[in-house]
Structures are given as C-alpha cells and as structure tokens.
Structure 1
Amino acid sequence: MSGRQRIAIVVGTRPEAVKLAPVVRELQRTRWAEPTVLTTGQHGTVVRNTLACFGLRPEAELAPPANARGPAPVAELTAGLLSSLGSRLRATDVHAVLVQGDTSSALAGAMAAFFARIPVVHVEAGLRSGDARSPFPEEAHRRMIAELSDLHLAPTRAARRNLRAQGVAADRIVVTGNTVIDAVVAASRNPCHRTVPELREIEQDSAPLVVVTAHRRENWGEPIRRVGRAVAALSRQYPDVTFVVAAHMNPSVRTAIEESLRDRPNVRLPGPIPYDAFARLLSRSVLAITDSGGIQEEAAAFGLPVLVTRDNTERTEGVDSGLARLVGTDETEIVAAAEKEFAREGVLDVRKPDLSFPRPNPYGDGRAARRCAAACGWLLGLAPRPSDLTDQET
C-alpha cells in the first residue's frame, strides 16, 4: 500500500453504510487510494451486517456515547462523536475524510477533519428542504457540513444549484448521481441467504407487496401512530395485499407504528430487515409508504411510487418526476393516496409483478460511486476531474 493516499470513510448509521459502501469499493479499485472504514458504533451490528452485504468490514469501530436513559440527545451524541473521531483522526495519517448526508456522525466527522486540517469530502451534498428546522436536525447538519467541506459531491443538478445558492464555488462541486442507486441495484441481486423465516415466507408470497417504514425524529409519537392506523385501515380494505412494516432499531419508534398492526393477518412485522433482503422487497413491491429520504431514492431505481409521510422533502426530484407524493401523516390523506395508487390499471394484478414507470431515474445512472472515487483522486491531485452527470443521463 506504499504511496497510496489514506482516505477515512466515516460511517455511523445504516443509511451511511449503504450509500458509502459503493464508494469504498470503487476506491479499492484505484491504484492511488487506501480507503479505511471508520464506524462510530451508533448502529452497531446493523452497520457491520450492511457493510458485509457489500463485502466490506470496518477497520475500526468507536464506542458511541453511552446514555442509560435511551438514545442520546443530539447535542450529547454529536459532542461525543466529535471527541472520539477527533482523537482517532489525530492518531492516524489521513489525507482526506469522506462523510455522507446529514447525520450527527457526518457532521462530527466533518468537524473533526476540519479541526485536524484534513480535506473533507461530502457525499450527497446540497440537499435542502428550505426550512432549517425541518427535517430536524438533518437540514441544519447538511448546511453546516457544506461550510466545512473541500469537495461537494452533489447527487443531482438541483443539489448543485442549492450549493451555489449557499455560496459554494462551482469548481468545488461535482454532480455524481446518488450512490444509493448503485447500492440498491447491487444488493437486490444478492442471493437470498438470510436466515429470517418470515422474510423467506414474504419472498415466496405472490401477493402484491407494500413496504412501510417510519423513523423520522419529527414524526416520533402520535404522527407515527397515525401512519400505523392508516396502514391498518388499508390492510382491512385490501386483504389480498401484503403490507411489510420494516421496523426501526429504536424500540419506542417500532412500538408506535406496530401497535395498531399486530393482529392484522396481511401485515408482516419482521423487525429490522437486512439491507439486501430489503432491496429485493423494494424491487418486488407496488408501493412504498415511508418518511425515509433514502427510500425515496431507492424506490426510483425500480420505478416504485412512494407516499412520503412528511410535510416537505429535500428529495424534490422524485416529486417533480411523479414518482413520489407528499401526504403528511394524516390518516385520511395516506389512505386516499394509497387508494389512488391501487386504482391504477394493473397495480394489484399479481401477473404483472414488474410494473415500472416509463420515466428516467431522477437520482442517477448507477455509476455515481465511480464518479465519487474519481473526484476524490482529483481533489488530491491524483486523477482527472470526472465529468458531471447531466440531465440527459438520468
């Protein structure tokens, strides 16, 4: 590995593992990079298992801040991560640090690298909702990370415009596409080898599938309960449809959505789902109901319509293309929007399991990770600048 540039990739949560894994794989293929995955321990085993889906393992895993009362408050979590990441980066010879998205680990990683005078590369830069407090705290995180970054890897041209509006220099931005498209397509092709009996039953079921998730901090409590009640109503109205509720790791979040669904015969509650199995479920589904930003993007890889249980979204490309629809958390709105999707010709016909929209994917062409790796080489003076993804390529 002599002469290679050491690049630290900070991974705190499962979505970060998903979106950064393809970039790590591409960096491994270069002649100039020595990528090292540094996990913060926030999602523990889930992150390790997700990385393993892509044949990766962390070089080091930090211990997250302990909190006997449950999940750490954002300020406490960020402070602890900043301290541990700062110590780790000071003890190693690192030439660049990659962070992804808008989590506390991404912000702490960017800050730690900045304080250590190490160049910061921000993957999935430039997403904006326009409201600094929604989603909370992610919108504020991504704005702050932009101020600390040396290279901004924007997933779309709209993200690039947002960065330019914030004052980021044009020559510090590369439009790459979103790495989640690379990840979800690759994972959906993995052979089914997970030992979760209920997942095997779901994969063998020929009924139309609807995937449901809920986890956003601003939806905790009653909003998530409303989503659960809406899904319960839909399960009664459509007994031949299977609703798969992919649980969040946080037990209180999980309980809130599941409490209305436990006795429904066509609702499956398998708990947290391994990423490759989840990708296969998405590829077979007819609808997703979610507050997840990542799933809005992942669904687009399969032309899957999404009902977004939020009042706004920074993934505006999906809404503009017609793949995603904002429905909030009102039960009546969710049910009415799902009824409209189910009414489309052929959606609930089990003989047509591969329905897709005849639209280009607004989030990229599946080669985003390759552009991200090349852009890192360009930042370090070791590779030419990659061409931006253009509108015509999406």
Structure 2
Amino acid sequence: MKHIFIFGTRPEAIKMAPLIKAFQKDPSQDIVVCVTGQHKEMLDQVLQFFDISPDYDLQLMGKNQTLYDITAKALLGLKPILEKESPDNIIVQGDTTTAFVGALAGFYEKMKVSHIEAGLRSGSIMSPYPEEGNRILAGHLANMHFAPTTRAVDNLKKEGIINNVYNVGNTVIDALLLGLELIEKKGQDEYETFFREIDLNKKLVLVTGHRRESFGKPFEDMCKAMRDLASNYPQIELVYPVHLNPNVRNTVNNILSGLPNINLIEPLSYPHLIWLMNKSYFVLTDSGGIQEEAPALGKPVLVMRDVTERQEGIEAGTAKLVGTDYNKIVTECEKLLNDVEYYQSMANAVNPYGDGTTSQQVLEIVKTL
C-alpha cells in the first residue's frame, strides 16, 4: 500500500515524523514524503533531526506571500506529484494551509485522504485564523479521521462525520518522547553549551508567542505582563525564542529588551526547544502543540489565547487560559511562582493527549484497509 505524506511547516513535520518512522519500519508499506516548504529553515531542522529525506519539495517559501499565494502554488504543485505517484492514501496533519490543500488535492484526484489530529475545534472560525477554517475544511474532505481525544471525536460527530473516526491520541507525544530519547543518546553537552547565557539554576519560564490574531494592543499587553513579571521576580529567568515575523519582533524588542533576566533569543530548533521545555518551570504560550507537549513533561501551561481547540488540557488541569489580558497573565504566573500546592496540581495532572503509541495505532488501523 502506497502512502504520500504531505506537510509543509515545522509543527506538521514534528507530528508526522514518528508516524513516518513507524510506516518506514513496516516493509508492507510504501512511503512517499512530499513537503511544500511553507516553512523552510525550521522545517529542514526537524527533518534533519529525525533523519527524514523528502522525495519531493515544492519550495513554496517566499517573501511577503499571502494565503492566496500559498494555497494556489501548493495546489498546482501537488497535482503532477499525485498523478505520477498515484498513492492509495494521502496523509495530512492538523490545520495548516498545506493540510487543507493536501486534502483538497486528494479530493480533486478522488484519492483517499487520512487526516491526523482530526476534530480539533475552538468554536470560533476566526480564532485561530486561518487554522480553524483549515481543519474544518480538511476534516470534511478526508476519508479517515485520526482524532487525538474523545472530545475531538465528538466534535466530528456534531458535524456529521461518523465513519472511519478513530481516537488514537496525538503523535506530538510520540515525537516528544522520541526526540528526548535521541537527545539523550547524543548527550547533553551540546545543549548546555548552546544555552550557556541562560542561568539554568533559576526557575525558567519558557515563552512562545506569535499568533497573528493577537497583533496590536493584545500582543503589547502580553509583553508588558512578561516585562513586569521579570522585574518583580528576579529569581526567574524568562526565555523567549522570538518568532521571525516583524510584527512579533518589533513589539517584543521594544518592550522586553534590556532586562537582565529576560533572554530574547532566535527561534529554536525542535530538539533545542524540547530540551529547554524539559528544563523549564512553567510555560507561557499561544502555541497549539506546546499545550500538549509541556504537560507530558509535567510543566504547567498558561495559554495566552482567548479560546483554545485543546480544551481537554484546560479541563484536565494541565493548562489554563489567560488570554492576552495583562492582569490575568501576571496573576496566574504569580500563583505558579508563589503557591506550591497550586503549581503541583497542574504539574501532576494527567495529560489527556496520549501515551506515545499513536503512530503505531495509526499504522495498524491503516493496514486493515
């Protein structure tokens, strides 16, 4: 059986990597890997770390390109590849433009499409944008739906998607465990040297923030909360790998530069990110995947978004929504720093996103087709 894996961003690559490795180990499965290059450098870092070589690279990355550009170029680029390879199954992941276009191309070619991480819903079509729209569209074009949680299964049912729906957990946990295993085998020295400017003896607060719906005053409020937190708590070390988007960089540099315990660093490779996450005390983020990864390491997560499609973490107590509100961010960070019992309640909550066996489950299900 021939499968073509289509992805284009770093988060997709991370979540596809353990799946690709599982399929590659099975001699009965024929694997083709196609990347769109929606992200370039960050994507290549992940592929290199997990030792994955694409068979096709559409190299879509371009300056100032819009969603129109990415969608049109990806769709036209996939057409000859699908016609040549004629796969039995197209595998897309998550909620990127690449995932949506991959599903749409499969639909146009009347090919089966498997959607990994299916059924996530925030309930607001504009938040996160365009991801919520992408995953809804991909879900309704796909033939097989690999949902990470019971809630995701229920979300699909509400939209009339009831056939070939499987609750398998999330491959992001597989990737995290595999990644830390690879790091352990290669040794810690490289990472300790890389982060030598950071005081690893302090309580590390890892920050990631880049959502376009927060640009403007909401993003400024987020940064002001981080600034004042660092000023009031010199015993913490706030580490912020700053996204390359100028809308992020300009605001972050204007508000957060110059404080001795705020480290504004370049975007991290996946292995460096998970190493640092493993060393952190808690995480401030607007990222989707980190809401799943950090709890697997016992790290509380404060989510700087108004809504999240990963509601299971909120309900399980591994994560808490703080939005972009200055007071909420500061208050919740202070509770984690000052209230040990409160911290432990989040750190010890059971992660609802899987146990590291998702990739093998997907493989076994697909083999029954």
When the two structures are superposed, what TM-score results if normalisation uses the length of structure 1? 0.88
Q: Which one-letter code corresponds to 1:246 in the other structure?
A: P
Consecutive unaligned residues in structure 1, runs of 5 or more: 349-353, 382-394
CA separation of 1:346 and 1:198: change in aligned 2, threshold 3 A: farther
Residue 151 of structure 2 corresponds to which residue in structure 1?
Answer: 158
Secondary structure (helix, strand or coil) at the match of 1:362 reads coil
Alpha-carbon distance between aligned partners in 2 of 1:55 and 1:192, rounded to the nearest angstrom: 19
Residue 366 of structure 1 corresponds to which residue in structure 2?
Answer: 356
Question: Does residue 1:180 correspond to 2:167, yes or no?
Answer: no
The percentage of aligned residue pairs carrying the same residue is 37
- The alignment's C-alpha RMSD in Å is 2.1
Consecutive unaligned residues in structure 2, runs of 5 or more: none
Residue 235 of structure 1 corresponds to which residue in structure 2?
Answer: 230
Q: Map 1:196-207 onto structure 2 (within 5 A).
A: 198-202=194-198, 205-207=200-202
Residue 84 of structure 1 corresponds to which residue in structure 2?
Answer: 77
Alpha-carbon distance between aligned partners in 2 of 1:12 and 1:259, rounded to the nearest angstrom: 31
Residue 59 of structure 2 corresponds to which residue in structure 1?
Answer: 63
CA separation of 1:369 and 1:258: change in aligned 2, threshold 3 A: farther
Q: Which has the higher helix share?
A: 2
Q: Map 1:324-363 onto structure 2 (within 5 A).
A: 324-345=319-340, 357-363=347-353
Q: Which one-letter code corresponds to 1:320 in the other structure?
A: E
The Cα shift of 1:327 comes to 0.9
The Cα shift of 1:192 comes to 3.8
Q: Map 1:290-309 onto structure 2 (within 5 A).
A: 290-309=285-304
Alpha-carbon distance between aligned partners in 2 of 1:249 and 1:184, rounded to the nearest angstrom: 24
When the two structures are superposed, what TM-score results if normalisation uses the length of structure 2? 0.93
Q: Which one-letter code corresponds to 2:352 in the other structure?
A: P
Residue 277 of structure 1 corresponds to which residue in structure 2?
Answer: 272
Q: Which one-letter code corresponds to 2:224 in the other structure?
A: R
Secondary structure (helix, strand or coil) at the match of 2:256 reads coil
Is the contact made by 2:306 and 2:323 (CA closer than 8 Å) also made in structure 1?
Answer: yes
Is the contact made by 1:199 and 1:270 (CA closer than 8 Å) also made in structure 2?
Answer: no
Residue 168 of structure 1 corresponds to which residue in structure 2?
Answer: 161
The Cα shift of 1:63 comes to 2.2
Secondary structure (helix, strand or coil) at the match of 1:133 reads coil
- Higher mean alpha-carbon deviation, 359-368 vs 57-66, is at 57-66
Residue 126 of structure 1 corresponds to which residue in structure 2?
Answer: 119
Q: Which one-letter code corresponds to 2:99 in the other structure?
A: A
- Higher mean alpha-carbon deviation, 85-94 vs 329-338, is at 85-94
CA separation of 1:361 and 1:195: change in aligned 2, threshold 3 A: closer
Q: Map 1:217-232 onto structure 2 (within 5 A).
A: 217-232=212-227
CA separation of 1:121 and 1:112: change in aligned 2, threshold 3 A: same
State which of 23, 28, 41 in structure 2 corresponds to 1:27: 23
Q: Which one-letter code corresponds to 1:53 in the other structure?
A: F
Is the contact made by 1:10 and 1:39 (CA closer than 8 Å) also made in structure 2?
Answer: yes
Secondary structure (helix, strand or coil) at the match of 2:85 reads coil
Secondary structure (helix, strand or coil) at the match of 1:86 reads helix
Question: Does residue 1:212 correspond to 2:202, yes or no?
Answer: no
The Cα shift of 1:194 comes to 5.2
Question: Does residue 1:9 correspond to 2:5, yes or no?
Answer: yes
Alpha-carbon distance between aligned partners in 1 of 2:323 and 2:70, rounded to the nearest angstrom: 28
Q: Which one-letter code corresponds to 1:173 in the other structure?
A: V
Alpha-carbon distance between aligned partners in 2 of 1:36 and 1:241, rounded to the nearest angstrom: 46
Question: Does residue 1:40 correspond to 2:44, yes or no?
Answer: no
| Number of aligned residues | 365
Q: Which one-letter code corresponds to 2:171 in the other structure?
A: T
Q: Which one-letter code corresponds to 2:322 in the other structure?
A: V
Alpha-carbon distance between aligned partners in 1 of 2:266 and 2:313, rounded to the nearest angstrom: 27
Is the contact made by 2:92 and 2:114 (CA closer than 8 Å) also made in structure 1?
Answer: yes
Write the deviation string for residues 3-61 of structure 1: whole angstroms up to 9, x where unpaired: xx221111211100111101001101112112222111121121111122212122221
State which of 47, 50, 54 in structure 2 corresponds to 1:51: 47
Alpha-carbon distance between aligned partners in 2 of 1:179 and 1:156, rounded to the nearest angstrom: 12
Write the deviation string for residues 223-271 of structure 1: whole angstroms up to 9, x where unpaired: 2222122111111011111111022232332332232112011111221
The Cα shift of 1:135 comes to 1.4
Is the contact made by 1:65 and 1:81 (CA closer than 8 Å) also made in structure 2?
Answer: no
Residue 391 of structure 1 corresponds to which residue in structure 2?
Answer: none
Alpha-carbon distance between aligned partners in 1 of 2:303 and 2:191, rounded to the nearest angstrom: 30
Is the contact made by 1:37 and 1:57 (CA closer than 8 Å) also made in structure 2?
Answer: yes
Is the contact made by 1:65 and 1:80 (CA closer than 8 Å) also made in structure 2?
Answer: no
Alpha-carbon distance between aligned partners in 2 of 1:257 and 1:34, rounded to the nearest angstrom: 45
The Cα shift of 1:193 comes to 6.5
